Structure formats: C-alpha cells, structure tokens
Structure 1
Amino acid sequence: MLKNNINVIIIAIAMVTSAYLFSNAFQNRNKNTDTISVTGLGKTDFVSDLIVWSGSFSRKSPTLKEAYASLDSDREKIKSYLSGKGVAANEIVFSAVNFNKDYETTYNENGTVRQTLFSGFTLTQSVTIQSKEVNKIEDVSRQSSELINSGIEFYSNAPEYYYTKLAELKIKMIAEATKDASTRAKSIAENADADLGNLKKSDMGVFQIIGQNSSEDYSYGGSFNTQSKNKTATITVKLVYQVD
C-alpha cells in the first residue's frame, strides 16, 4: 500500500511539473512573437557631378592605307574641335581602331547569289569624354552636329550622368531610413499602449536611383539611372522590435 501511495505522489508531482514547464514555455513563446515590424524610407534628390559622353566616326576606302589616312585626319579635326570648345586634353580618350572588310553581293533574277566582290575597308574609332564640367560637355554633345557639317561621319551617343559621392549619400540615406522606421515603430507602440523593447532584426532594402519626376519603374534588384542629370535616390530599411 505504501509503495502504491509513493507512486501516486511521484506521478502527481511529475504532472504538476510538466504542466508548469509547458505553461512557462508557452508564455515565453508568445512573448517572443510580440514584435513590431516597420519599414522606413530614405529619399533625396541630387544633381550629377560627372558626365561621360562618347561618339564614333568612320571612314571607308578601297585600300587600308587610304582609310587609315582619312581616319587620322578626322581624329585630328575632332581633337581640334573639342579643344576649341574648352575640353581638356586629359578628358579625351580615343579607342583602338576597328576595321572591317566590306563585300558587295549581286543576285540573279531567281534570287541566287551571282557573285560577291571585295569593295574596300571600313575603319571605325570612338572617342569618350569624361568630365566634371557637366554643363559644358552637355553643350558640346548638343553641338556635335558641327562635326558632320565639317565632313566627318560622326555618330553621337547620349550623355551618361554619374555622381562621385554616391557612397557618402547612401550612408546618409540609410541613417535617414533607419530613423524614419524607428519613429514609426514608436508611434505604433504608443498608440497600442505598449512599450517598445529591443531591436530584434534589421534589413536593408535595395538602393534605387531614377530620374527626377520620371515615370521609371522601381526594380526588384535596384535601379541605376544614367540618362538623367537630376536624379532621385531612395532606400528602405526594415526594423523588427520586441514589444513589452
């Protein structure tokens, strides 16, 4: 009889202990899930301080020697033109010369090839200007048709715009986004009559740069606009706080 009573007491104690441990674990589990998740935004407008503009020019001639001579002449004219516009020599870079052999194909009345004859060489070279004098190079790019009027077969590309202090700007925006998220979390906690606890987790969103007042779409992997001189940068920061 005594042995049975002892077994009953042990079983009862085990049941009470198990119930306590389960209850305590359940409470802690609920406590850990009492969090607030907020997203803050950092946004700023800025003006590009670096411009990259490029163009290409080409010459075609029956012989390689004549083509090179014509291309050399065009290159010197372009150098002189850019220098006259106030572009510094160290801002001008000419690429290596590319050349292609050209062929002319004639066809029979039924559409089959009659013959393919060598017609000469086409040589092409590009020039790139990189400068911090954004407005000046912009004007040069708009006036580049003057090169065509001088007899040069010149093709101008659209300028590209960059910002040399992007790393500093990004740090400033992260701080702004973090502050914005923290303010939102405090406001939510106060309105819910709760106390904001420790920061549990933080995640940074993608960095986006688009043209100001543009209809560009934000990209999942981040946008990086180079077509607009005036840009808008945004970044998001997600914070998760414990709520007491």
Structure 2
Amino acid sequence: MLKNSLNVIIIAIALVISSYLFSSAFQNRNKSNDTISVTGSGKKDFVSDLIVWSGSFSKKSMTLKEAYAALDADREKIKTYLSSKGIAPNEMVFSAVSFNKDFETIFNENGTTRQQTFTGFTLTQSVSIQSKEVNKIEELSRQSSELINSGVEFYSSPPEYYYTKLAELKITMIAEATKDASIRAKSIAENADASLGNLKKSDMGVFQITGQNSSEDFSYGGSFNTQSKNKTANITVRLVYQVD
C-alpha cells in the first residue's frame, strides 16, 4: 500500500515538472518569435571614371598575301589617326587577325545548290582603348567615322563605361542601407509600444547599377550597366531585430 502511494506521488511530481518545462519552452518559443524584419535601401548617383572603346576594320582580297598587305596599310592609317588624337601607342591594343574564306552559292531553279564559287579572303582586326580620360575617348568614338574618308572600313562600337572605386562605393552604400533599416525598425517598435532588442540577423540584397534616369529593370542576379556614363547604384539590406 505504501509502495503504491509512493508511486502515485512520484508520478504526480513528474507531471508537475513536465508541465512546467513544457510551459517554459512554449513561452521561450514565443519570445524568440517576437521579432521584426525591416528592409533598408541605399542609393547613390556617380559618374564613370573609366572608358573602354573599340572598333574593327577589315579587308578582302583573292589572296591572303594581298589581304594581309591591305590590312597592314589600314592598321598604320588607324595608328596615325589615333596618335593625332593624342592616343599613345601603348594605349592602342590590336587583336589577332581573323580571316574567312568567302563563297558565293549558286542555286538551281528547284532551290538546290548547284555550285559554290570562291570569292576571296576577308581579314578582320579590332583595336581597343582603355582610358581614364572619359570625355576625350568618348569624343574620339564619335569622330572615328573620319577614318572612312581615308579609305578605312572602320566600324566603331559603343563605348563601355566603368567605375574603378566600386568596392569603396559599395561599402558606403551598405552602411547607408543599414542605417535606413535601423531607423525603420525603431519607428515600428515605438509605434507598437515595444522596445528594440538585439539584432538577430542581417542579409544584404542584390547590388544593382543602372543608368541615371533610365527605365532599366532590376534583375534577380543584379544588373550592371556599362552603356551609361552617369549611373545610379542601388542596394538593400534586411535586418531582423528581437522585440522586447
């Protein structure tokens, strides 16, 4: 009888302790869920300080020797022209020469191929310039059509614009976005009659660079505009705070 009573007492004590532990765990679980998540943003306009511009030229002849000789002559004309615009020889980077065998296809009346006639070799080469003198090279890219007057078939590509201090800019913007998110979190907590606790988690969003005043869409992986000299950088930071 005494043994049965002891067993009942032990079971009762175990139930009380289990209930207490469950209640405590439940309360702590709810407490850990008392958080707020906010997103802050940073935005900065800046001007590119590096430009990359390139163009290509080509020659065609029935023999490789003649085509190479004509291409060499055009290359020298381009070097002379660029030098006259203040471009140093070591700033001119010429690519390897590529060539194609060209054929003219003659078809039968039923649309099948009758024969292919060799029409010559086309040789192509490109030249590129990378410079921090953005305005100077930008103007050069517009004037390069002058080479056509000297008999050079020169095709100018649109300049590409970059910024060499992007790492420093990104750090500044992260700080700005974090501050913005913190201010938002404090405002939400105050309006809810709560106090902001410790920072539980922080995540950086995608870093985006678009042209100023453009309609470019942000992309999931981050956009990186190289067509515009004047750019806008955007970044977001997500903070999760404990609420007391």
**What is the TM-score when the length of structure 2 is the normalising length?**
0.97
- CA distances 1:20-46 after superposition (whole Å, capped 9, x unpaired): 111111110000000011111011000
- Aligned CA RMSD, in angstroms, stands at 1.1
* Aligned pairs (5 A) from 1:1-244: 1-244=1-244
Deviations 1:166-220 (A, max 9, x none): 0111111111111111111111111111111111111111110000000000000
Deviation at residue 137 of structure 1 after TM alignment: 0.6
Query: What's the secondary structure of 2:170's corresponding residue?
Result: helix
Q: How far apart, in 1, do the equivalents of 2:65 and 2:35 lie?
A: 76
Question: Which whole-Å CA distance do the structure 1 matches of 2:108 and 2:176 have between them?
Answer: 71
Query: Hey, what's the Cα distance between the residues in 2 that align with 1:236 and 1:102?
Result: 53
**Structure 1 gap segments, 5+ residues each:** none
Aligned residues: 244
Deviation at 1:119, TM superposition (A): 1.6
Shift in alpha-carbon separation, 1:2–1:149, aligned structure 2, 3 A? same
**Further displaced range: 154-163 or 110-119:** 110-119
Partner of 1:4, secondary structure, is helix
Aligned-partner Cα distance in 2 for 1:114–1:24:
89
Shift of 1:86: 1.3
| Percent identical | 84
More divergent stretch after superposition (2-11 vs 181-190)? 2-11
Q: Deviations over 1:51-101 (max 9, x none)?
A: 001110000011111111110010011111111111222221000000111
Write the distance in 1 (CA, Å) between the matches of 2:23 and 2:110. Answer: 91
Give CA-to-partner distance per residue, 1:88-128, whole Å, 9 cap, x none.
22221000000111112222333332321222110000000
SS of the aligned residue for 2:206 comes to: coil
Distance in 2, Cα, partners of 1:20 & 1:112: 89
| SS in structure 2 of the partner of residue 224 of structure 1 | coil
Moved over 3 A (4+): none
SS at match of 2:31: helix
